[in-house]
Amino acid sequence: MAKYKLPKPGELSSSINYNPPAKDWMDIPVEFKPATYPAAAKEKDLLTVGFPNAHQWTPEDEDWNLPDGWEDTVIKGIEERLSKYRSFKLFMDVCVRCGACADKCHFYIGTGDPKNMPVVRAELLRSVYKRYFTKAGKVLGRLAGARDLDADVLKEWWYYFFQCTECRRCSVFCPYGIDTAELTIMGRELLNLLGLNINWIAGPVAACYSKGNHLGIEPHALKSNIELMIDDIEDITGIRVNPTFNRKGAEILFVTPSGDYMGEPGIYTCMGYLMLFHELGLDYTWSTYASEGGNFGFFTSNDMAKRLNSKIYAEAKRLGVKWILGGECGHMWRVLNQYMDTWNGPADFLEVPVSPITGTRFENAKSTKMVHITEFTADLIKHNKLKLDPSRNDHLRVTFHDSCNPARGMGLFDEPRYVIKSVCNNFFEMPENTIREKTFCCGSGSGLNATENMEERMRGGFPRANAVKYVHDKHGVNMLANICAVDRAAFPALMDYWVPGVGVTGTHELVANALVMKGEKERTTNLRGEDLPGKEGNE
């Protein structure tokens, strides 16, 4: 037996290398660690909507059961999209790697992983584009930054394209206006061609296609959910609100994300809408068919997004309304504001929205015919149409998170702030480079707000939480207001982890708590059943 010499302690410790390998990004394969990625799409959900290559697989499997000839499918997919979308072709060619976007992504800032730099995320796809679609890449290969498409590349795409929330913060800083979110969108479309989507997206898409909303709530359940809220509103205010459903001839159709129908704290925002509309005597209707404003189809393919979106105009037409009012949601508004008109318009059967209360004509919505609820409410407040008692929110010290899509997708910065400041006496802004068009994402957008990828969400949301922590420490902020259903679903966990003691609220929950309704009884609690300031101990 060979004599084995034990190493000395010094030799042992010097053999431990804390440093990660210093390799080129192309040579570092993806490692799937639990809780850092979402679960794979289920075959049944893809089949429901007719997506190609539905099959069973899991990300941690060595073999993803890819269909025969998958490489051709992807290359042809790229070719088709290059010819269809000029922006895609431009974004592939125009980047000069100036690095302006590099440190702007919340996932990069929260992980320090260079593959989360928007420029590198784009390069994951660009390297394949170069190899198959540019002369330099075909001839020079890796020297020109090109590489072959293989299963490892595909896994890398999947890991990093589902580690981008399409929030578009990086695009604000790109001197060429490259929208890396669009590259993620292309990447996800290509993966979708192979049946490689995620469960948290594919499930809601299938539910929305068959039931009208992401949560799969059927008409009777939607109605009874809202009736539960009506009971709670009556307990708190003494007033029974009386919304209508699928009512033909109503003036306005109201569409909101289904996250508002169940789950806390989304339902309180929904109660806020109900109370506001009742107080105004608004001639409006809910729809159990167009029961979803959000559009997870947008995270699968352009065609699916268009299909799921079409029900909004179709329902407006069927009911014969004049215009559409939309609730608090994030990506819903990017889709409505930037895509709906082109996909399913022109909505020439609708009228340019005019507030029946103030007479304000919403010129900004004259094409889509759909108004954001904070624009609508801000206009009401500006015209003194609401009786408000902001002191009911005096126990709150509020900050506002600009939800990425309304902020960067439609420039909605001031209306929500105006509304919040009108209904709350204590409002504090987060630092300038973390709000408005530079807002940091919640880390859970674009279908990433699953539960199994909690660590991924905590990393991605760290920059946002870090700014909330600052105002929490400095001003005692204890409430994070927003205008997005995903924010309302995802922020409670993010706050509990990074900034305990900060709650999460939709803007219209704050409005409804401050709203003094005609004939209401003396309120002692807010919509959550918590004592109002100065009313503690009342029953």
Which residues contact another protein by CB under 8 A?
A: 13, 18-23, 28, 31, 33, 35-36, 99, 102-104, 108-114, 117, 224-225, 228, 262-265, 267, 431, 433-434, 451-452, 454-455, 458-459, 462-463, 466-467, 470, 489, 492-493, 496-498, 539
Cβ at position 401, least distance to another protein in Å: 14
Asked whether the beta carbons of 320 and 249 are under 8 A apart, the reply is yes
C-alpha distances in Å from residue 430, one per residue of 200, 411, 426, 484: 30, 18, 13, 18
Nearest residue (CB) to another protein, 386 versus 467: 467
- The closest of 471, 529, 511 to 495, measured between CA atoms, is 471
Nearest residue (CB) to another protein, 33 versus 361: 33
Nearest residue (CB) to another protein, 209 versus 498: 498
Nearest residue (CB) to another protein, 102 versus 144: 102
- The closest of 362, 449, 351 to 410, measured between CA atoms, is 362
Sign of CA dihedral 418, 423, 426, 428: negative
Distance CA 243, CA 232 (A): 14
Cβ at position 144, least distance to another protein in Å: 19
Distance CA 449, CA 317 (A): 33
- The closest of 472, 470, 475 to 504, measured between CA atoms, is 472
Cβ at position 36, least distance to another protein in Å: 7
Phi and psi for 479 in degrees, rounded to 5? Answer: -145, 130
Cβ at position 160, least distance to another protein in Å: 13
Nearest residue (CB) to another protein, 418 versus 498: 498
Cβ at position 256, least distance to another protein in Å: 16
Cβ at position 255, least distance to another protein in Å: 21
Distance CA 405, CA 435 (A): 13
Only one residue has tokens 């309180």, namely: 268
Residue 110 structure tokens = 């929260």
Cβ at position 191, least distance to another protein in Å: 22
Nearest residue (CB) to another protein, 124 versus 185: 124
Nearest residue (CB) to another protein, 419 versus 471: 471
Nearest residue (CB) to another protein, 239 versus 493: 493
Only one residue has tokens 């279908």, namely: 447
The contacts of residue 484 (CB under 8 Å, 6+ apart) are 328, 329, 330, 403, 405, 406, 442
Cis peptide before 353 (omega within 30 of 0): no
Cβ at position 22, least distance to another protein in Å: 5
Phi and psi for 460 in degrees, rounded to 5? Answer: -65, -30
Nearest residue (CB) to another protein, 33 versus 138: 33
Nearest residue (CB) to another protein, 275 versus 386: 275
SS3 label, residue 51? coil
- The closest of 362, 324, 371, 366 to 346, measured between CA atoms, is 366
Only one residue has tokens 């004599």, namely: 3
Asked whether the beta carbons of 284 and 324 are under 8 A apart, the reply is no
Q: Is 281 left (phi over 0), alpha (psi -120 to 50) or beta?
A: left
Cβ at position 182, least distance to another protein in Å: 23
Cβ at position 497, least distance to another protein in Å: 6
Burial bucket for residue 483 (CB in 10 Å: 0-12, 13-18, 19+): buried
Nearest residue (CB) to another protein, 46 versus 208: 208
The pairing of strands 398-400 and 479-482 is parallel
Single-letter code of the amino acid located at 39: A
Cβ at position 316, least distance to another protein in Å: 28
Nearest residue (CB) to another protein, 309 versus 434: 434
The contacts of residue 349 (CB under 8 Å, 6+ apart) are 316, 317
Calculate the CA 66 to chain-centre distance. 29
Cβ at position 25, least distance to another protein in Å: 9
Nearest residue (CB) to another protein, 4 versus 18: 18
Asked whether the beta carbons of 509 and 236 are under 8 A apart, the reply is no
Cβ at position 301, least distance to another protein in Å: 27
Phi and psi for 268 in degrees, rounded to 5? Answer: -70, -30
Distance CA 411, CA 364 (A): 11
